[in-house]
Amino acid sequence: MKYTFYFLPCYCIFLLTAYLLIAASISAETPSFLNVGSLRFGVFGYTGSSKRIGWSFPTELADGALNGHFFRRLTPALVLIPLSAALAGAAALSGTIGMVFLPMWEILHQRSPLGSFAATGIILMAAFSLLAFPIALVAWILEMILFGVARQRLRSHGVDAAWGNANWMVLGALFTLLVGLATFAFAVALSMVCDGCCGSDRDLEPGVTIIDNAVNGPPDVFTVRLEDNGQIVTTRRNGPVDGGDDPKAQDDGSSKGDRKSTDSSDSTVVDCGYTKG
């Protein structure tokens, strides 16, 4: 189950990212980006306005500059937040599929076709998150410019305007996206390093399970269990552990891909189809 534990942290982080971005974009009012008295400004409008992509500030509050051509172009750009939320949601969904099949794949001795579903889900999780990050970053910069200027101009006219919590939710989503991508890269690197140093049973023949590798011995020596008869033997790839003198067993093991077990005076030879690394 080591791969499941490697990728579980980044999956949980991407779930949190999806929650933050979806929560910041599903409503026009709550969570809000700007609070002016009882008015709450969100992605698709403000309190009492019709919900749409692209909107104008209330004429009783805004001056000509806030409802000018430049700022009216910025409000449609807020749709980038729901777009990044959709990508984050797709990443969470893909990750869920991957994390469902990944432990099943490991339990079935990593020879099951479920591995392709697990790998696809985890790769898509990282790909969707990687796409969501620049979109969310641009969206956060644009909304900070829009609502920051609006807040400053309203406050200069004596209107009480304050930041809403959605600004910090998008910022938090950016942070979790970065952390999640870094954690994913670390999980991939850890998997590769662990496979290279400790070996992996991905290429074992069906019915062979690695129990442990020789900690103080050669790195290609393993203790395995044969499922058909429950026998536990010590083995290395295509040869006896102690250099036994059964050349026929070694020749047969190197020329055939099937699993076999042969007793010799020194050790038991098992060709389990293992290729280190």
C-alpha radius of gyration, the chain, whole number? 29
Q: What is the pLDDT of residues 199-231, one digit of tens each?
A: 444 444 544 455 444 444 454 555 555 555 555
Q: Write down the mean pLDDT value for the chain.
A: 76
- Mean pLDDT is lowest, of 73-87, 128-142, 255-269, for 255-269
pLDDT over 60 (residue 125): yes
Better-predicted residue by pLDDT, 268 or 96? 96
Average pLDDT over residues 123-133: 96
Nearest to 101 by CA among 91, 89, 92, 113: 113
pLDDT digits (tens, 9 = 90+) for 18-57: 999 999 988 656 789 999 988 999 999 888 888 889 888 8
Task: Dig out the tokens for 67 from the structure.
Answer: 């409802």
193: its two tokens: 């390093």
Note the CATH architecture for domain 2-198: Up-down Bundle (1.20)
If pLDDT is split at 50, 70 and 90, which confidence band does 65 have? confident
Give the burial string for 71-85 (b: 16+ CB within 10 Å, else e).
beebbebbebbbbbb
Query: Which residues lie closer than 8 Å to 194 by C-beta, 6 or more apart?
Result: 2, 200
What are the residue ranges spanned by the domains of the chain? Answer: 2-198, 208-270
Whether 61 contacts 67, CB under 8 Å: no
0.95 surpassed by pTM: no
